[in-house]
Amino acid sequence: MTDEILRVRGLSTRFFTEEGQVNAVEDVSFDVRNGEIYGIVGESGSGKSVTALSLIDLVDSPGRITAGEVWYRNADLAGEFRETRPEAVDGEFVDVRRLPEGVRRSLRGPAFSTVFQDPMSSLNPSLTVGEQIAEAVEVQRRARANPRRTRSRTQGYGLSNLIVDSVLPSRSYVSEESSERAVELLEQVGIPDPAERAEEYPHQFSGGMLQRAMIAQALAGEPDVLVADEPTTALDVTIQAQILTLLRDLQEREGMSVVMITHDLGVIARMCDRVGVMYAGEIVESGTLADVFENPVHPYTRGLLGSIPDLEDPAPRLQPIEGNVPSLLDSEMGDRCYFADRCPMAMEDCLTRIPEFAVSAGEPQGGVGSDLDGVDDAAGGGNGGAERGDDGTEHRARCVLAEREYDPERALPDGYFDPESAGPPRSADPERRREPEVNADD
Amino acid sequence: MSLGRFILKRALQGVFVIWGVVTVVFLLRFVTPGDPITFIAPLDASPALRQRIAAELGLNKPLYVQYFDYLAELVRGDMGYSYISGTEASARIFARLPATVELAVVATLVAVALSIPLGVVSATRRHEPADYAATTFSLAGISTPNFWLGIMLVLVLSVQFDLFPTSRRALGFVDALGYLAQGNPNGLIVWAKYITLPAITLGTYFTALITRLTRSGMLDELGKSYVRATRAKGLPESLVRYKHALRNTLIPVITVLGLQLGSLIGGAVITEAVFAWPGLGTLVINSINARDWPLIQGCLIVIGTSFVVVNIAVDALYAYVNPRVVYD
Amino acid sequence: MVSPRTVRNLKRELGRSALAKVGIALVVAVLLVAVLAPVLAPHHPLKQNLGESQLPPLGFSAVTNETTSEMVNGSIEVVQRERQVDASLSHPLGTDSLGRDMLSRIIYGARTSLLVGLLGTTLAVLIGVTVGLTAGYYGGKVDDGLMRVSDVMLAFPSLVLAIALIGLLGGASLRIPDPIVAAGVEPGMPPNIVLPGTVIVVVALVNWVWFARVARGEALSVRSEEYVKAARALGASDASIILRHVLPNSLTPILVLATIQIAAIILLESSLAYLGFSGANLSWGFDIAQGRQYLSTSWWIASLPGLAIVLAVVGINLVGDWLRDALDPGIEGEGGV
């Protein structure tokens, strides 16, 4: 397994707000392979967009990446920093987070590029679309011409240029050549009359055309990894399909990897090779598309897929998952499986933090009495840059059901997490537990 | 709509506003108590003499006739003759205009040059000492009456340290340039010495105001998605801030500046009073005190017209900087 | 009118902003000083005492030029001599050129500033909101007319227009018995509160346009809302729709603008008084003008009233910032000055 371009390990991002600490991304690990589309799916508020921002190191204050590594395969950089920053180098990989700020910024474009959710707000309204794409080309052109300078804050773009440019719509940053390249890029993403459209402003574009322009801008740096954060959410359904097709074609043509962030399982099913399901800042289940979609283990994933089997009622529930989107406030998160309060299959085991388990093909492994603590120790620690997948499968889930069958005897009583009835866990009574739930479904 | 047509349309609207200004100014004389003749005629003037004066000035004609006469004269550039000195009102006004324009331009230039960088630094170093200094300055600046600031400057810099003259204006900028052309830079130095304190007095409020607007606008812009997207494409931070965020910050700043132009002129009036600066402001105050109607009307029309003209220029600048502007 | 959410936002913003607390403290202090002026002032603010003129504030001493007639070499001559003057405990902030107590004048000056600021703003709100809501609600010709009038109004700087109006109308003021003095608490103090009527009307006349513009904008945006259409369909009269639906929606931006305008009007009043156009003889701006002449000998006469203005206006501006941040009315911070 050396064909990864990106290995994310133990990434945690927190927001320090007035209401308290928000754990938006918690100990997230995944790999992205060369030329694949890796999907991250979750409800809004699950931390998937913050994960995208953390990857490209653009988390704004009051947010901060508090832990974790983002290993990016780049033999040249690895060579450059092997001596000076050995801790940031592992084989051909460099830990982006431990590189100097200037180098990190120079990776934006050629290493990581981003397509954001809302193209209208993601482009500067007062510059032409062509100029904005040309800027993305120009910054790489200058980087190639003078690699050192890329890392400076001004890139040889002096104070006087700044003053003139900020007052007048001058183009002294962007060269003729970059402007021409911008037109080519617009053509590549299927925008008709690209030369004329390049001269227009974002408000003159339709949503779909604008998202194409955003994609053109993201391609400008010829990125290794394209992070697409809900790229179709703001668009009409018909346009969505076109944009997805475009992304897929471009990914194949350019041979780049794509991290596709979405709340839409349809997008995942259509685009992705492998997928991670996020809930409350964690990846709760991950694996190949087939693993996760055909053999979901985590009740949350099953809920998302709309096929939670009810033990006593074989008809699948098509209801969305009950309960609220979890609070990510550190003070309210508790030391348990974060999904337990919404989980129809919550057991006493779920009252501790659950590590990631490898899901053995087909059936859950381990019996009721398996040694939980032992597994916790083995899987809970950071894996560093080391390879994962200790048992050959990459289907993993952060759920005890990966290890054992649901045991109604150990189920938590209903209303266990309600603030009013909060009390010590009593012995589970399946009968009492059923009744209110039926009512709630009506 | 093209920029040219937009400006043309605004200019046409401007003409109407100027006409409104002229009308208001004309009517002002008829709604205020007191017969202007009382102020012109000698105290012991006989009714016959008063009649003659009124006839000479056309004050005995019906209102609408006087109004159209006034408009007709105005179009020819004739604002009448000062009741007090008998000189041509327009000549008096245009003789005073350069001093006021100089003061306003210098104050504006200094204010813009200081406040925009200050606002940007304040926004990009939020909660750092530079930000606290800038916000404290700008709060004090918008809360200080400028005439008092001027007097305090005189107290410290002129009375205590004798660095600047306390009042008046020695020569105009054009004169100073004339000396410079003859190889004598002293004229410019003297000019600068005289204009420094009045310009600070007039400019501080605007520096403070634009600093506040730039800071809050910049904070707004830096939080927007496009700024993040601009960073994501690898642009250096200086370009993100100045080429992208600052440009969009300046759009509302320009609008407010246009609206605040009135207070710039108002500020100039009182600044001139503090420093005995021989501009339009002191002229208008003196004329009002003397009920010198032709001068009052002329001054108000010139002030109102310059406001309208500069605002059209500001609108044109706004449309130029902001391509989204929808010219309805 | 004031929803619990509004109150919560105000409280939260107050909790996190130390500046808002400072602002409220300053405003409350100035209000108290203005209301309790007869009690707080150590002297009658208008009482002259030439023997104690130009006394410096406590902690300072000053040198004044004194003109006296003296016998010099057998003939009477007018001589100027410098006199060392020390501060007096009974005049903690010194005295002006006529020996009037600075502290008492500053305390009474707060009344003038606040009366003009509050009443002038109230009047401007009444005029502006009425005109603005009417124009915005009816639209069409009424609205066009208002916008043209407001364009013309804006073409005159408010100070220039105010000078012209006051200079030409002449200043008139009302005298209202001071309840504290009337109650016999401080019998030595001025018996009347002077209400500078012309100034109040004029500052309202030159500032109502800002309120009209904001109210018009709000009315325009509310006019097409479903609940307004529904009310109209149900046969509610225009006046009741304006009062019950349009007005409440405009209150937040108008409140924030009014706060900023109080500060602006206080500055305007002090400018008018400085230029001698307000007719007031008990105003911070008036004292600054007096002190201008004595700058080289008695710095405090011009300086101290100015500090009072700055403190009052800073306080109001901080409160304005607090309201704006808490209520987020979506108007430009600086409505107009």
Helix (H) or strand (E) holding A6: strand A4-17
**pLDDT at residue A154 greater than cutoff 60:** no
Chains with at least 3 CB pairs less than 8 angstroms from chain B:
A, C
B45 interfacial to chain C (CB closer than 8 Å)? no
**pLDDT at residue A25 greater than cutoff 70:** yes
CA distance A218 to B222: 20
**pLDDT at residue A390 greater than cutoff 70:** no
Q: What percent of chain A has pLDDT over 90?
A: 20
Q: Is residue B300 part of a domain?
A: yes
Q: According to the model, what pLDDT value does residue A101 have? A: 83
- Kindly report the three-state secondary structure assignment for every residue of A415-435: CCCCCCCCCCCCCCCHHHHHH
Contact A40, A260 (CB under 8 A): yes
**pLDDT at residue A2 greater than cutoff 90:** no
List the domain boundaries for chain A. Answer: 1-111+223-264, 124-219, 280-433
**pLDDT at residue A107 greater than cutoff 70:** yes
Between chains, do C303 and B155 touch, taking CB under 8 Å as contact? yes
Q: Residues C79-113, buried b or exposed e (16+ Cβ, 10 A)? A: eeeeeebebeeebebbbbbebbbbbbbbbbbbbbb
Q: CA nearest C214: which of C118, C308, C334, C102?
A: C334
Residue B323 banded pLDDT, cuts 50, 70, 90: low
- C-alpha distance from C69 to closest chain B C-alpha (Å): 28
Q: Is residue B114 part of a domain?
A: yes
Q: What percent of chain B has pLDDT over 90?
A: 28
Q: CA nearest B135: which of B114, B118, B110?
A: B118
Q: Is residue B284 part of a domain?
A: yes
Give strand pairing partners of A260: A39, A228
Q: Three-state DSSP class for B22?
A: helix
Over the stretch C254-266, which tens digit does the pLDDT of each residue have?
Answer: 998 999 999 999 9
pLDDT winner (highest mean) among A142-151, B208-217, C135-144? B208-217
Q: Tell me phi and psi for residue C196, to 5 degrees.
A: -75, 85
DSSP states along B224-282:
SHHHHHHHHTT--HHIIIIIIIIHHHHHHHHHHHHHHHHHHHHHHHHHHHHHT--SHHH
Helix (H) or strand (E) holding C251: helix C247-274
Q: Is residue B261 part of a domain?
A: yes
Identify the domain containing residue B308 by its residue range: 98-321
Over the stretch B146-198, which tens digit does the pLDDT of each residue have?
Answer: 999 999 999 999 888 888 888 888 788 888 888 888 888 888 888 989 999 99
* Range with lowest mean pLDDT among A260-264, C81-85, C215-219: C81-85
Choose, out of C116, C147, C160, the residue to mutate when testing the contact with B (most B CBs < 10 Å): C160
Contact A56, A114 (CB under 8 A): yes
Residue in C158, C167, C305 nearest the CB of B266: C158
CA distance C297 to C63: 7
Distances (CA, A) of C45 to B17, C106, C145, C204, C278: 46, 8, 47, 28, 18
Contacts of C266 (CB under 8 A, 6+ apart): C113, C114, C116, C117, C309, C312, C313, C316
Residue A393 banded pLDDT, cuts 50, 70, 90: low
Contact C101, C42 (CB under 8 A): yes
Quote ipTM for the complex: 0.87
Over the stretch C144-163, which tens digit does the pLDDT of each residue have?
Answer: 888 888 888 888 888 888 88
Q: According to the model, what pLDDT value does residue B328 have? A: 39
Over the stretch B29-43, which tens digit does the pLDDT of each residue have?
Answer: 777 766 667 766 777
CA distance B35 to B51: 12
Sheet holding A63-73, edge to edge: A20-33, A4-17, A63-73, A93-95, A89-90
Contact B79, B298 (CB under 8 A): yes
Q: Is residue B3 part of a domain?
A: no
DSSP state of A324: P
Over the stretch A39-81, which tens digit does the pLDDT of each residue have?
Answer: 999 887 888 889 988 988 888 878 889 999 999 998 888 888 8
**pLDDT at residue B1 greater than cutoff 60:** no
Q: Tell me phi and psi for residue A226, to 5 degrees.
A: -105, 120
**pLDDT at residue B48 greater than cutoff 50:** yes
Residue C22 banded pLDDT, cuts 50, 70, 90: very high
* Range with lowest mean pLDDT among A295-304, A337-346, B94-103, C64-73: C64-73
Count of the separate structural domains present in chain B: 1
Q: CA nearest C181: which of C37, C16, C5, C335?
A: C37
| Mean pLDDT score, A94-103 | 87
**pLDDT at residue A27 greater than cutoff 50:** yes
Q: Residue C125's Cα: distance from chain center in Å?
A: 15
Q: Is residue B54 part of a domain?
A: no
Q: Is residue B87 part of a domain?
A: no
Helix (H) or strand (E) holding A37: strand A37-41
Give strand pairing partners of C88: C91
Residue B52 banded pLDDT, cuts 50, 70, 90: confident
Over the stretch B80-134, which tens digit does the pLDDT of each residue have?
Answer: 888 878 888 888 999 999 999 999 999 999 998 899 889 998 998 888 898 999 9
Q: According to the model, what pLDDT value does residue A442 have? A: 34
Q: According to the model, what pLDDT value does residue B4 have? A: 77
| Mean pLDDT score, A88-103 | 88
Contact C56, C87 (CB under 8 A): yes
Contact C62, C54 (CB under 8 A): yes
CA distance C43 to C56: 16
Chains with at least 3 CB pairs less than 8 angstroms from chain C:
B
Nearest residue of B to residue A109, measured between CA atoms: B233
| Mean pLDDT score, C7-36 | 89
* Residues in B touching A53 (Cβ below 8 Å): 228
Residue in C160, C274, C291 nearest the CB of B284: C160
Contacts of A314 (CB under 8 A, 6+ apart): none
Q: According to the model, what pLDDT value does residue C12 have? A: 84
In chain C, the domains with their CATH numbers are 4-61+92-326 (1.10.3720.10)
Torsion of CA B320, B323, B324, B326, to 10 degrees: 60
| Mean pLDDT score, B261-286 | 89
Residue in B225, B244, B322 nearest the CB of A118: B225
Over the stretch C162-175, which tens digit does the pLDDT of each residue have?
Answer: 888 887 777 778 88
- pTM, whole model, 2 decimals? 0.81
* Residues in B touching C275 (Cβ below 8 Å): 270, 273, 285
* Range with lowest mean pLDDT among A252-261, A394-403, A406-415, C273-282: A406-415
| Mean pLDDT score, C52-57 | 82
Q: Tell me phi and psi for residue B112, to 5 degrees.
A: -65, -45
**pLDDT at residue C28 greater than cutoff 90:** yes
For residue C169, count other CB atoms closer than 10 A to its CB.
Answer: 15
Domain range A1-111+223-264, CATH class: alpha beta
* Range with lowest mean pLDDT among B2-6, C35-39, C318-322: B2-6
**pLDDT at residue C290 greater than cutoff 50:** yes
Q: Is residue B34 part of a domain?
A: no
Residue C242 banded pLDDT, cuts 50, 70, 90: confident
CA distance B192 to A429: 91
* Residues in B touching C167 (Cβ below 8 Å): 288-289
Q: According to the model, what pLDDT value does residue C243 have? A: 82
Residue A374 banded pLDDT, cuts 50, 70, 90: very low
Q: According to the model, what pLDDT value does residue A232 have? A: 86
Q: According to the model, what pLDDT value does residue A216 have? A: 92
Q: According to the model, what pLDDT value does residue A379 have? A: 38
CATH number at residue B276: 1.10.3720.10
* Residues in B touching A60 (Cβ below 8 Å): 223, 228
Residue in C155, C267, C314 nearest the CB of B17: C155
Over the stretch C81-134, which tens digit does the pLDDT of each residue have?
Answer: 777 778 788 888 888 888 889 999 999 999 999 999 999 999 999 999 999 988
Contact C109, C283 (CB under 8 A): yes
C163 interfacial to chain B (CB closer than 8 Å)? yes
| Mean pLDDT score, A257-279 | 90
A423 interfacial to chain B (CB closer than 8 Å)? no
| Mean pLDDT score, A368-374 | 37
